């Protein structure tokens, strides 16, 4: 009697493979860390820094970088074990016009500092991003991941992404049907499905770990079942979501909760590792210590 369990399953579609610089994103043929179907894809880890260290940036991260000079932080980010460097341009709408020339000059300079693949990210504000993201597309030093467009902004953001040959992150609010719909709408606007990353708007812990996990897993399983409008790689912006949680941003808890800086990193690592197990191809972190730990786990 053969007691072995067959864990293989029939895959109608692989996850699409996207190449950026010298890295490959996606291409999975099975769920993460499974060896059936010759799955060899590896999750990627990005380190994200902020263009401005504003009030949303936690002290525990500021203390690691030990400087507010964006050029110095970029050099340190480049030297981490991260696969990708992400820059969030957290600029307020009322300041955007005054900052446009500075942003152009900044993007021209970073090509001398950053050799790793780039994510160029907007401000998470629709009014700002409809002007800011086209500026990033037009002045990026090389082909980059642009983040992000959603249902309200895709019509203005897709054309400059297409024109400048970038990869676009599409964000939808933890809903598999809306994610598919936005992918279709974006493709209809002229963006190749091979240049789309799905962001289900679930960094790790903000909406409940099990809910976010299940949505990513459903998207991945639908893709394997043959849905070519959902078989794009998945990206999760873990760092920003993590440091919204009081457990990661506050040091006022009882000492039994552990030393604050270690707790904050563990919170981020927990969210990132869970999302990778669900099927995320890229996780974006804020803490370089978390990057080192997660790379070791992988």
pLDDT tens for residues 80-105?
999 999 999 999 999 999 999 999 99
Determine the Cα–Cα distance for residues 112 and 241; give it in Å rounded to an integer. Answer: 30
Q: Is 38 exposed, middle or buried (0-12, 13-18, 19+ CB in 10 A)?
A: exposed
pLDDT > 70: percent of the chain: 92
CA distance 154 to 156: 5
- What strands lie across the sheet with 167-171, from one edge to the other? 196-199, 167-171, 145-149, 118-121, 84-88, 44-50, 282-285, 235-236
Question: Which residues does residue 168 pair with via DSSP β-bridges, in sequence order?
Answer: 146, 196
Task: Report how far residue 124's alpha carbon sits from residue 103's, in angstroms, rounded to the nearest whole number.
Answer: 17
Q: Look at residue 203 in the predicted model and tell me its pLDDT.
A: 56
Residue 58: name the closest of 241, 258, 196, 278 by CA: 241
Count CB-CB contacts under 10 A for residue 256: 5
| pLDDT for res 6 | 47
Measured CA to CA, the distance from residue 193 to residue 174 in angstroms comes to: 20
Mean pLDDT within 169-181? 95
Q: Is the pLDDT of residue 8 over 80?
A: no
* Range of lowest pLDDT (136-145, 263-272, 280-289): 263-272
Check if the beta carbon of residue 192 is closer than 8 Å to that of residue 170: no
Please report, for residues 17, 196, 205, 268, the alpha-carbon distance to residue 210 in angstroms, rounded to integers and kept in the order given.
Answer: 27, 25, 9, 16
- Structural domain 17-297, CATH architecture: Alpha-Beta Barrel (3.20)
How confident is residue 37, by pLDDT bands cut at 50, 70 and 90? low
Residue 7 has pLDDT above 50, yes or no: no
The three-state secondary structure class of 149 is: strand
Q: The pTM is what? A: 0.93
Which is nearest to 147 in space by CA: 218, 240, 63? 240
């Amino acid at each position: 009697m053969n007691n072995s369990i067959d864990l293989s399953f029939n895959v109608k579609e692989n996850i699409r493979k996207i190449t950026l610089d010298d890295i490959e994103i996606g291409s999975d043929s099975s769920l993460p860390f499974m060896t059936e179907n010759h799955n060899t894809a590896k999750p990627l880890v990005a380190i994200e820094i902020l263009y401005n260290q504003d009030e949303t940036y936690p002290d525990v991260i500021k203390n690691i970088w030990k400087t507010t000079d964006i050029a110095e932080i970029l050099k340190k980010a480049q030297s981490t074990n991260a696969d990708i460097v992400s820059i969030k341009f957290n600029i307020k709408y009322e300041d955007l016009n005054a900052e446009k020339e500075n942003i152009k000059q900044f993007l021209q300079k970073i090509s001398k500092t950053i050799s790793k693949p780039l994510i160029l990210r907007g401000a998470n504000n629709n009014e700002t991003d409809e002007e800011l993201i086209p500026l990033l597309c037009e002045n990026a030093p090389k082909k980059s991941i642009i983040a992000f467009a959603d249902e309200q902004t895709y019509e203005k953001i897709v054309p400059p992404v297409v024109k400048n040959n970038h990869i676009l992150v599409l964000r939808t609010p933890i809903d598999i049907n809306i994610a598919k719909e936005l992918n279709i709408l974006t493709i209809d606007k002229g963006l190749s499905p091979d240049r789309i990353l799905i962001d289900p708007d679930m960094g790790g812990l903000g909406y409940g770990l099990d809910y976010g996990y299940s949505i990513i897993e459903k998207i991945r399983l639908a893709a394997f079942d043959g849905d070519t409008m959902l078989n794009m790689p998945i990206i999760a912006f873990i760092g920003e979501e993590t440091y919204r949680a009081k457990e990661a941003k506050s040091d006022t808890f009882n000492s039994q909760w552990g030393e604050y800086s270690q707790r904050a990193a563990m919170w981020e690592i927990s969210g990132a590792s869970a999302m990778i197990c669900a099927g995320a191809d890229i996780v974006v972190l804020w803490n370089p210590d978390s990057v080192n730990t997660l790379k070791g786990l992988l």
